[in-house]
Chains A and B, each alone.
Chain A
Amino acid sequence: MTVDTTTEPAVEPEPGGTEAARRRRNIAATLGLDRFSGVYVWAALILIFSLWVPSLFDTATNARIIAGSQAITAIVAMGLIVPVACGAFDLSIGGTVGVAVCVVIWFQANGHGFVLGIIVALLAGLAVGLLNSFIVVKLNVNSFIATLGMSSILSAGTYWITNGSTISNGVSPHFTAIGQNLLWGLPLPVFYMVAVGIVLWWLLEYTPVGRYLYSIGGNPQAAKLAGIRVGRITTGAFVLSGVVAAFAGIILAAELGSASPDIGVPYLLPAFSAVFLGATQVFPGRVNVPGTLIAIFLLATGVKGLQLAGAPSYITSLFDGAALIIAVALAARATRRRT
């Protein structure tokens, strides 16, 4: 009566996977080399630079500088994870950071107070997200193209707001305190970064919405036929990355106490590098929050160490660009191993 399914099912063996390779992979897995390789590389970098330039690198001040300077990049990158998880690019985040900086400073320079400035800046981020998602979801434009165009439009917006010059008059000291004060010896933005990280990590890992985002990224057609509202979730993802980028812009404005056009653009590339490098970490094959944070600080430590060792200032661009390419290549490899 019962169907005896003694036939062993076909787990198609991985081509080329030998017994020895499997054992090596097991050892690597125990040490966390596959999932936390970034942490090992980071530790190695710290060790190398501590030996190379001990007087400059190996100081608490330096650690604080790295943490503080990277907090904003980290916030932008974590916001970016959300659209990337559902398979969409958001190249407008750098532009959104810039617009938020200009808006929040412009309001103070024109005597409207920083609270209103913060609110309007956040609304601007939300509007950018809505506009991006309208173009991508309703007009069916590829997200790469849509947000590339948006990025240029936002850049124009920053020139329009600032008249092409730096604004720094009328900035409230209460406002700059948000970005410059210390708590337990660490700049406040580090704590904002941790807070944003916790919220987004929770969203992606511990809510149904997170599951929907990754499902859409994995197979949008299957997601739709599993009853997921692909358009609505994608809209939410763009709105979230827009608002998070605007938040990062507000913190940046508080740190600098001034606004100048195109201030946000340099944040785009490192954010992408970190998100894709992060996809090789912790949960290999998918973009994730802890992986992105590891990647941010790995990259920042490398750049800072090289600078202190006397490397020229263009090392940052060189490092970020190379990291992006290497990261995407590694992420593609990690995904292949899972398919």
Chain B
Amino acid sequence: MTPALTVTNMSKSFAGPRVLDSVTLSIEPGEIRALVGENGSGKSTLIKILAGFHVPDEGSAEVAGQSLHLGDGTASEALGLRFVHQDLGLVDTLDAVDNMALGAGYPSFRGGIRWRQERKRARGLLTELGYDFDVRRPVGTLAMSERTALAVARAMAPRDTPAKVLILDEPTANLPAAEAQRLYQLARRVADSGIAVVFVSHHFDEVFELAKSVTVLRDGKQVITRPVAGLTEDQLIELVIGRKLEQVEHDAKAAERKAVVLEVSGLGSEVLYDVDFAVHAGEIVGVAGITGSGRDEVAAALFGGRDRVGEAKINGAVLPKNRPDKAMAMGMGLVPAERHANAAFMTSTLRENITVVRPGIHWRGLILRKGAERTDVDRWLERLDVRPRKSEFTMSDLSGGNQQKVVLARWLRLEPKVLVLDEPTQGVDVGAKSDIHKLVDEAAAQGTAVLVASTDHEELVRLCHRVLILRRGRIADEVSGGRMDHDLITAATIGRDQADATIGGDQPDAT
């Protein structure tokens, strides 16, 4: 059988070292291939070459036996390569029909667009993928999984040439576990129709669940391509990072109860309703829930980035709502989700990104002392192992993982009483993720009360003493002690009350 996609000796360098070094791949029709590697390992470069954004220094590619003209976006499209990029490439203010037409045009256009026909077509394409939502709603108001489905539907929509290969770049990066399951089904459905699926992922459980084979890239080189069967997660992690990951025994992270620092009662927002909880000094509490459960509202509602009702207290003092400045002054720090939109100043230096909270510390004699500021920042860059360790570099010079460390440093520098983290390792590579987890542990060890909202349930298991499960805006369950298991958390978020019973054989600890 002719492979759906072959890549031969592909190399690329921008300035200096090769970011892609003689990579050779071959993928069969109907195969699901995971492409894994840390940030900067060359995954994105490879995909961008296939999409025609970059021209490789050497190498060639074939799609279903036909030679691909590289460096030309229309050529890869014409041969049957279909892409869903990480940011999905949707316009939030347009509806599903208009987004489907981006790039491809309106098929019904004959002197005018037949809107009814277009809507029917869009609905049909989405139904094929198992989704059904109002195609006239602006895409910005859709759930993340619906947006992802729309991007996939657009990629798979019939064109002049049939699709041969679907390439998904971190398709589940923003999806909670239950919604990721829907995407797996979707990918399987596509593969079953004889189309090769390549997907990039940082989530290894996804690799094991979905992929038939896996290609690991490290520093631009192909480390291995092998079937997933027979591979363990530890082996895969070692292949990706080229070292053993520190093992943290977390199953029953001892919770030494100290004083309550953060006390929340009757918290409500758009989705949240009457949520009560407390976080003690030195404790790490997780928040899990599917999209629409209110998980993504907790952090912003507490800090003041989003309107709320109810009361939040830090050490007994009432936190006013809608006042991030007050929250900060009272000792709360927030690492928000979606770094680019909510946290990073991309054109500012690392120094300015870190000292943007309380630059006044270095304001002496009516002058902001930049020397002292630099020393302060250098210390934090070193502590968090940010690379490159240059306080005057621009934020945009850094990889995602390092940018996230800079945002974390911003708040650790203030030694907050309460640290609220929302998706703290979104789009971050394995090494940086492990570093960030260690830093959160350290902060808690020093007495900070930590609240982590995350869709990455392994992260919650790794970090938390206990995890609050949100369903439909309320706390439905709490997982701790011996029940701390990511499958169990996933099960609890999708609403099985006896979650523990669904995990084969595991006996719940009566804590």
Contacts and interface: CB of A to CB of B under 8 A. Distances in A.
Nearest to B396: A339
B380 interface: no
Contacts of B410: 226
A276 B303 CA distance: 36
Interface residues of A, number: 45
Interface in A1-16: 1, 3-16
Interface stretch (B64-72, B89-97, B344-352): B344-352
B38 A7 contact: yes
Contacts of B39: 9-10
A222 B344 contact: yes
Contact of B368 (A16, A208, A338): A208
B356 A228 contact: yes
A7 B263 CA distance: 41
A270 interface: no
Interface in B402-456: 402, 410, 429, 431-432, 434-435, 438
Interface string A17-40: 111001000000000000000000
Interface stretch (B240-248, B252-260, B284-292): B240-248
Most B CB contacts (10 A, CB to CB) among A19, A22, A339 go to: A339
A4 B399 CA distance: 18
A7 B219 contact: yes
A54 interface: no
A207 B367 CA distance: 6
Interface stretch (B117-125, B131-139, B198-206, B334-342): B334-342
Interface string A201-238: 01001111011101100110111111111000000000
Given A227-B329, A338-B396, A3 B438 contact: yes
B14 A211 contact: no
B14 A7 contact: no
A215 B218 contact: no
B286 to A, nearest CB: 21
Contact of B360 (A22, A208, A214): A208
Contact of A5 (B15, B347, B431): B431
A227 B19 CA distance: 38
Nearest to B334: A225
Given A7-B242, A208-B359, A214-B352, A335 B347 contact: yes
A140 to B, nearest CB: 15
B327 interface: yes
A5 B39 CA distance: 13
B355 interface: yes
Nearest to B19: A13
A225 B343 contact: yes
B359 A8 contact: no
Contacts of B334: 225
B394 A17 contact: no
Contacts of A208: 358-360, 363, 368
A176 B334 CA distance: 55
A3 B246 contact: yes
Contacts of B346: 218-219, 339
Nearest to B333: A227
B387 interface: yes
B40 A4 contact: no
A2 to B, nearest CB: 8
A10 B399 contact: yes
Given A11-B399, A13-B16, A224-B324, A215 B434 contact: no
B41 to A, nearest CB: 8
Contact of A13 (B15, B341, B368, B398): B15
A257 interface: no
B246 A1 contact: yes
A226 B356 contact: yes
B325 interface: yes
A207 B368 contact: yes
A10 B402 CA distance: 9
A285 interface: yes
Contacts of B16: 13, 19
8 contacts: A12-B399, A13-B13, A206-B368, A211-B359, A226-B324, A227-B325, A338-B347, A339-B394
Given A10-B38, A223-B356, A227-B357, 18 more contacts: A4-B243, A5-B435, A6-B243, A9-B387, A10-B41, A11-B397, A16-B14, A202-B367, A207-B368, A211-B352, A215-B348, A218-B346, A218-B347, A224-B305, A225-B303, A225-B324, A226-B324, A229-B325
Interface of A: 1, 3-19, 22, 202, 205-208, 210-212, 214-215, 218-219, 221-229, 285-286, 335, 338-339
